[in-house]
Structure 1
Amino acid sequence: MTALPDWMRPPRLEGWFAEDLDRLPEAPRHTELIDGALVFMLSPQRAWHGRLVTALTTTLMAQTPEGFEVEREMTIRLDARNRPEPDLLLTDLPYEPDRTWYAPEDVKLVVEAVSPESAHRDRTVKLRKYAEAGIPHYWCIEEEDGAPVVHVYELDEPTRSYAPAGIFRGTLERPVPFEISLDLDKLTPPRHA
């Protein structure tokens, strides 16, 4: 067993805090903070995931009205001990090249593409945390026979929890956070036999 590098040791008994992520240049790319613990994305990303996120980014950017920005792989500082990094987010703040995170009140939509290693976090932990932080829309995208299936959730303000707003295959049409129309089958190439 190899000893842990010093930078991996929490700086205090309570674990890590959101601001610590900006002071960890040695940490692997896509390091998240969940409940004060660092979560590393060490498994290789599947080609399906990369293609989906890239295609969805460009498709949403083409439909995004003025005043909105689509960001890929940026963290959201939910609170002092939680700073997850969704695959995509939609914000109403102008682009700032030196930004490293967003506050939840500035995020209108979060999108997570489920990977085998992130499935539990995306389907349960992040679903709850994004809702409790007040983010109005959450999409959790699963793979079904090579095609994307989008589970759409909207925030129920009084309970600070998400209500299912639909499961979309083939096409996705939503009136919020703005008019969105997606041909889901064009987001990933078909599987070759």
Structure 2
Amino acid sequence: MTAVPEWMRPPRLEGWFAEDLDHLPDAPRHTELIDGALVFMMSPQRSWHARTVTALVVALSEQAPAKIEVEREMTIRLDDRNRPEPDALVATAPYDPDRTFYTPDQVLLVVEVVSPESAHRDRNVKLRKYAEAGIANYWRVEDENGSPVVHAYELDAPTRSYVPTGIHRHELRTTTPFTIKLDLDGLVPGRRD
């Protein structure tokens, strides 16, 4: 039996806290904190997922107005016990080369590209947590026969819950959080027809 790596041992009885993620140098690259538990990507990622995330980050970056940042795989410190890592996010905070996370008040849009191992978290857990934290917009991107389909949500502030604003196939046009036009079918080069 292999010994458990030291970084997997919680530093206290209460488990992990958001600031602990910055002090786990040997942890896997994509480690997030959900309800005080470390969650990390152990299975290989599909090429479709990687290409979709890259294409979305590039397209959003090209269309973002000045002083709006688009980041890939950067955590959001929702509270002391939750620091998820979305596939992409759009934020108002200026670029900082030493940044390791954003706070909900700095985030305009969170994008999660669903993969088999993250499906429950992306469709349920993160949907609820991002809304409760007050993040205005959430996109969940699903693979539908090789084409990305965006399920868009907007925050209903009084209830701190998301309401669906649309399911976008082939093309996405929106003015929230800024004017965006995406050719969804053209996002993933080499996709199946």
What interval of TM-score do these two structures reach, taking the shorter chain for normalisation?
over 0.9
Q: Deviation per CA, 1:43-95, whole angstroms, max 9, x where unpaired?
A: 11100001001111111111000120101100000000000000000001110
| Map 1:16-165 → 2, pairs under 5 A | 16-165=16-165
C-alpha distance in structure 1 between counterparts of 2:191 and 2:171, whole Å: 18
Would the aligned equivalents of 1:15 and 1:36 in 2 still touch at CA under 8 Å?
Answer: yes
| Equivalent position of 1:10 in the other structure | 10
CA apart distance, 1:192: 5.0
Structure 2, gaps ≥5 residues long: none
Deviating beyond 2 angstroms after TM superposition, the runs of 4 or more aligned structure 1 residues are: 189-193
| Contact 1:152/1:165 (<8 A) preserved | yes
> Quick one: distance in 2 between partners of 1:67 and 1:151?
26
Counterpart CA distance in 2 for 1:185 and 1:58 is: 15
- Residue type of the partner of 1:47? S
**Root mean square deviation of aligned Cα:** 1.0
Identity %: 71
Classify 1:35/1:192 alpha carbon distance in 2 versus 1 (closer, same or farther; 3 Å). closer
Aligned mates of 1:64, 1:95 — CA distance in 2: 14
Aligned residues: 193
The answer as to whether partners of 1:72 and 1:88 remain within 8 angstroms in 2 is: yes
Letter in 2 for 1:12: R
Whether the 8 Å CA contact 1:146–1:191 is kept in 2: the answer is yes
Gaps of 5+ in 1: none
TM-score, scaled to structure 2: 0.98
- The CA deviation at 1:22 is 0.2
